[in-house]
C-alpha cells in the first residue's frame, strides 16, 4: 500500500487515543498551500508540454457534472436520510464538490503504479470545486432575495484553494518544464512527504469527527460509504466517454467520488447558516475520505481499466 496512507492511519490512531499530538494551524496552512500549488504547477507544466486539443467541450462536460451531482443527491438524502432542506442541500454541495487531498492520494496512487493521466485533470479539479456549492445554496434557500450572491461569488472564486490552483496552473504553464526546474526540489520532490504530513493531520481531524459521528448515527455512516461509488462511476463513465486515458478516467472518478471539506463547509456555513455543519463534515471527512483513500481509489482505478478494455 502507498506509504502515505499509513500517515493517515497514524493520525487517526493518535487522535482516537487522545494523544497530545497536534499540528499547528500555521503548519496545516503551509502544507495545504504546498499541495495546492504543486498540483497546479504540475498540471500547468503538463498542459504546456502537451497542449490539449478540444479541451473546451470536455470542460463543459465536467462543469455539467459538477452541477448535476448535487441535484441528484439532494432528493435522495432528503428521503433516505429524512434530512431537512438545509442539511440535505449542504450534504449535496459537499459531495458535489471535490477533495484536493483525495485527488492528491489518487495521483500518488497512480504514480506508484506508473500510470499516466491526461494533463487537463487539474483543470477539471478546479472546475468541479465550485458549481456544486452554488447549486447547494440555491437548493437550500431558493432564489431567496437576501442572498448576497456578489459577495458569495467573490468568496468562492477567490477562495485560497482556487487562487492557488489556478495560480499554480498559470505559473507552471508560463514557466514550462525548463523554467520549473529550479522549483522542483520544493514543489515536486517534496510532494509525497508533504502529502504524508497533510494526511497525518487529516487523520487527527477525522478522529475528532468520531464523536459527532455517534450523534448522527447510522445514516451518515452508510451514506459516507455508499454514496462515493455511484458518484465515482458517473465520473468514470463521463471521463471514458469524453476520451480520457485510463489514468485520467480513474482520476475523474476519484474527483466526483470525493467530497469537499474545505471550500464547501466554509461557503455553506455562511450561506446556509441553518444547516448543521458537523453533519456534512463528519460524512465527508470522517467517513468518505478514509473510504476513498483505502477502498475507493483502487476500486475506481479498476473501474477505469475495465471501461477502457
Kindly state the smallest distance separating residue 303's Cβ from Na ion, in Å: 15
CA neighbor of 259 nearest in space, from 80, 120, 69, 116: 69
Residues 135-194 that bind its own copies (CB under 8 A): 154-155, 158-160, 163-164, 167, 170-171, 174-175, 179-180, 182-183, 185-187, 189-190, 192-194
> Which C-beta is closer to Na ion: that of 176 or that of 298?
298
Angle between helix 191-226 and 25-49 (nearest 10): 100
19 Rama sector, left if φ>0, alpha if ψ -120 to 50, beta otherwise: beta
Query: 295 contacts which partner out of Na ion, other proteins, its own copies, none, CB within 5 to 8 A by kind?
Result: none
Residues 198-257 that bind other proteins (CB under 8 A): 201, 204-205, 208, 212
Does 265 engage in binding with other proteins (CB under 8 A)? yes
Kindly state the smallest distance separating residue 265's Cβ from Na ion, in Å: 14
User: Please, what is the end-to-end C-alpha distance for the chain in angstroms?
Assistant: 25
CA neighbor of 135 nearest in space, from 75, 92, 167: 92
Kindly state the smallest distance separating residue 31's Cβ from its own copies, in Å: 9
> Which C-beta is closer to other proteins: that of 249 or that of 288?
288
- Residue 28 grid cell: 496545516
> Which C-beta is closer to other proteins: that of 255 or that of 266?
266
Give the C-alpha separation, 26 to 229, whole Å.
Answer: 34
Kindly state the smallest distance separating residue 290's Cβ from other proteins, in Å: 17
Give the C-alpha separation, 48 to 278, whole Å.
Answer: 41
Q: What are the CA-CA distances from residue 282 to residues 45, 171, 208 (Å)?
A: 35, 35, 9
> Which residues are at the interface with other proteins (CB under 8 A)?
20, 22, 25, 28-29, 201, 204-205, 208, 212, 262, 265-266, 269-270, 273-274, 278
Amino acid at each position: 500500500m502507498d506509504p502515505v496512507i499509513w500517515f493517515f492511519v497514524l493520525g487517526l490512531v493518535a487522535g482516537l487515543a487522545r494523544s497530545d499530538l497536534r499540528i499547528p494551524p500555521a503548519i496545516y496552512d503551509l502544507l495545504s498551500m504546498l499541495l495546492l500549488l504543486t498540483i497546479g504547477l504540475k498540471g500547468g507544466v503538463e498542459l504546456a508540454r502537451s497542449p490539449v486539443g478540444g479541451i473546451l467541450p470536455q470542460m463543459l462536460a465536467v462543469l455539467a457534472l459538477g452541477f448535476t451531482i448535487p441535484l441528484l443527491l439532494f432528493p435522495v438524502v432528503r428521503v433516505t436520510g429524512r434530512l431537512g432542506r438545509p442539511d440535505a442541500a449542504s450534504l449535496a454541495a459537499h459531495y458535489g464538490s471535490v477533495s484536493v487531498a483525495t485527488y492528491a492520494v489518487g495521483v500518488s496512487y497512480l504514480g506508484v503504479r506508473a500510470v499516466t493521466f491526461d494533463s487537463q485533470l487539474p483543470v477539471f479539479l478546479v472546475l468541479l470545486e465550485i458549481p456544486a456549492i452554488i447549486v447547494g445554496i440555491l437548493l437550500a434557500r431558493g432564489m431567496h432575495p437576501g442572498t448576497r450572491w456578489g459577495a458569495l461569488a467573490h468568496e468562492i472564486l477567490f477562495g485560497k484553494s482556487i487562487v492557488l490552483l489556478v495560480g499554480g496552473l498559470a505559473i507552471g504553464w508560463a514557466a514550462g518544464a525548463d523554467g520549473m526546474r529550479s522549483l522542483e526540489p520544493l514543489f515536486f520532490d517534496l510532494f509525497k512527504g508533504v502529502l504524508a504530513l497533510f494526511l497525518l493531520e487529516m487523520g487527527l481531524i477525522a478522529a475528532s469527527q468520531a464523536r459527532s459521528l455517534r450523534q448522527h448515527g447510522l445514516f451518515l455512516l452508510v451514506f459516507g460509504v455508499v454514496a462515493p461509488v455511484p458518484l465515482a462511476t458517473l465520473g468514470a463513465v463521463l471521463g471514458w466517454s469524453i476520451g480520457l486515458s485510463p489514468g485520467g478516467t480513474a482520476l475523474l472518478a476519484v474527483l466526483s467520488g470525493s467530497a469537499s471539506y474545505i471550500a464547501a463547509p466554509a461557503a455553506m456555513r455562511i450561506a446556509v447558516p441553518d444547516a448543521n455543519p458537523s453533519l456534512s463534515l463528519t460524512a465527508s471527512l470522517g467517513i468518505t475520505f478514509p473510504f476513498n483513500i483505502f477502498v475507493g481509489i483502487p476500486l475506481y482505478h479498476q473501474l477505469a481499466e475495465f471501461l477502457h478494455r
